């Protein structure tokens, strides 16, 4: 074979070999670096870096380096706080954190919680507390027993930020050199943004693929609900709020609650109030808007599961004339509602069934 043909043949073989190698994993190796894709969540970032490590930026803009067990952090990241993964011992500061750890199959990693056993509706946590495998490390109001946390030797302490108390807790834990990450999923403006925080927790457990699969499945289910309710051209008027000390509190138009109502095919009556949080209005304003609504959703957080139309009216006599209350078209939260963030698709399906009963005939409500 002439030399120039031999060279051409060798080049072709090299190209074929490289393409074959790419298909067998080189392309996958390249994909193991770069930012983890987030569709809705705004409060954290994850970047895959060399050596199978991950840079995680939490809600307080703190950067942590997640390093697989028995590996060393790359030289360029040695100045970052290191957390070895997968974590086996976790302290959590909220019930919603447990609900995001649940789909990962890692509730058994929880060794400390900040809420009394009577608060819990997640059986695995209640049993863990009864057996002494999970310790109470606070009062439920954000206060911590720091000495107990140190004694527990956690691999990670998940706390919530976004408040003065949260900043103080973070400062104290850092002072005690405890591994800590800040979760502000509650500040997300989209229900799917709140749920997407499962990817944040999954990074600490090395279960990213499981989290991605779970999240994608929930998104598909909610998309299907949205398509189904779109067939009903009528949108019921929805009043969503709670009464506290003589005032009504309603979600802002940019809140995840308003978004859930929209996803479920409802028309939120206070959509003219801008903002993401809860806004106080007078009972007179509440009634003036509410008298045109079809459905009442009571969002009281106290006495869950035992709210009645009578108890709602007792907080403001003017509410007795609200058509939705008079007609019995009122719903409240089940006791486990705030511990069901991982059930976001079920919650929206419940709302869709409340708003459009003909489209969801026979559905048994699960969270309302």
- Tell which of 171, 195, 218 closes a domain: 218
Residues 209 and 123 in one domain: yes
Q: What local confidence, expressed as pLDDT, does residue 277 receive?
A: 87
Output the domain CATH number for residue 121.
Answer: 3.40.50.1980
Residues 238 and 284 in one domain: yes
Q: Is residue 225 part of a domain?
A: no
Q: What local confidence, expressed as pLDDT, does residue 161 receive?
A: 82
How do residues 59-72 score in pLDDT, each as one tens digit?
999 999 999 998 99
- Tell which of 164, 185, 218 closes a domain: 218
Number of residues that make up the chain: 368
Q: What local confidence, expressed as pLDDT, does residue 285 receive?
A: 94
Counting the structural domains of the chain, the total is 2
Residues 249 and 211 in one domain: no
Q: What local confidence, expressed as pLDDT, does residue 23 receive?
A: 41
Residues 51 and 176 in one domain: yes
Residues 307 and 180 in one domain: no
For strands 110-113 and 278-282, give the pairing: unpaired
Residues 236 and 199 in one domain: no
- Tell which of 218, 242, 261 closes a domain: 218
Write 89-92 long-range contacts (CB < 8 A, 24+): 89/152, 89/153, 89/154, 89/155, 89/156, 90/154, 90/155, 90/156, 90/157, 90/158, 90/204, 91/137, 91/149, 91/152, 91/154, 91/156, 91/157, 91/158, 92/157, 92/158
Residues 201 and 304 in one domain: no
Residues 207 and 245 in one domain: no
Residues 78 and 194 in one domain: yes
The answer to whether residues 297 and 263 touch, using CB atoms and an 8 Å cutoff, is: no
Distance CA 300, CA 297 (A): 9
Q: Is residue 6 part of a domain?
A: no
Q: What local confidence, expressed as pLDDT, does residue 28 receive?
A: 32
Q: Is residue 13 part of a domain?
A: no
Q: Is residue 20 part of a domain?
A: no
Residues 182 and 257 in one domain: no
Q: Is residue 252 part of a domain?
A: yes
Question: Element (H or E) spanning 299, and its range?
Answer: none
Q: Is residue 208 part of a domain?
A: yes
The answer to whether residues 58 and 78 touch, using CB atoms and an 8 Å cutoff, is: no
Q: What local confidence, expressed as pLDDT, does residue 142 receive?
A: 60
| DSSP category for residue 9 | H
Q: What local confidence, expressed as pLDDT, does residue 8 receive?
A: 43
Distance CA 291, CA 325 (A): 10
| DSSP category for residue 180 | E
Q: What local confidence, expressed as pLDDT, does residue 321 receive?
A: 92
Residues 209 and 253 in one domain: no
Residues of the chain with pLDDT under 70: 1-33, 140-142, 164
Q: Which domain, by its residues, includes 210? A: 34-218
Q: Is residue 342 part of a domain?
A: yes
Residues 68 and 159 in one domain: yes
């Amino acid at each position: 074979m002439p030399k120039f043909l031999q060279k051409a043949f060798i080049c072709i073989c090299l190209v074929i070999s490289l393409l074959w190698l790419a298909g067998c994993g080189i392309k996958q190796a390249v994909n193991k670096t770069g930012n983890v894709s987030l569709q809705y969540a705004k409060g954290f970032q994850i970047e895959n870096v060399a050596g199978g490590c991950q840079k995680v930026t939490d809600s307080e803009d703190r950067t942590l380096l997640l390093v697989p067990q028995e590996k060393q952090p790359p030289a360029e990241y040695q100045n970052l706080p290191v957390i070895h993964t997968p974590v086996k011992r976790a302290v959590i500061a909220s019930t919603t954190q447990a609900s995001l750890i649940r789909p990962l199959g890692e509730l058994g990693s929880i060794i400390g919680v900040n809420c009394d056993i009577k608060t819990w509706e997640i059986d695995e946590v209640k049993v863990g507390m009864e057996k002494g495998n999970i310790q109470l490390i606070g009062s439920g109001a954000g206060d911590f027993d720091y000495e107990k946390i140190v004694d527990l030797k956690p691999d990670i302490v998940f706390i919530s930020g976004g408040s003065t108390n949260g900043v103080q807790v973070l400062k104290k834990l850092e002072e005690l050199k405890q591994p800590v990450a800040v979760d502000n999923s509650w500040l997300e403006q989209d229900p799917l943004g709140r749920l997407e925080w499962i990817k944040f927790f999954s990074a600490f457990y090395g279960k990213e693929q499981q989290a991605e699969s779970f999240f994608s499945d929930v998104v598909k289910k909610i998309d299907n609900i949205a398509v189904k309710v779109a067939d009903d051209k009528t949108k019921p008027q929805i009043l969503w709020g709670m009464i506290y000390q003589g005032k009504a509190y309603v979600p802002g138009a940019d809140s995840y609650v308003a978004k859930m109502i929209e996803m479920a095919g409802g028309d939120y009556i206070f959509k003219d109030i801008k903002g993401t949080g809860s806004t106080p209005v007078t009972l007179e304003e509440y009634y003036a808007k509410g008298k045109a609504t079809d459905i009442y959703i009571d969002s009281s957080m106290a006495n869950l599961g035992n709210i009645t139309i009578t108890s709602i009216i007792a907080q403001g006599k003017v509410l007795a004339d609200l058509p939705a209350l008079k007609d019995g078209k009122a719903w409240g939260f089940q006791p486990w509602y705030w511990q069901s963030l991982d059930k976001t698709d079920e919650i929206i399906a419940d709302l869709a069934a409340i708003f459009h009963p003909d489209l969801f005939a026979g559905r048994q409500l699960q969270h309302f």
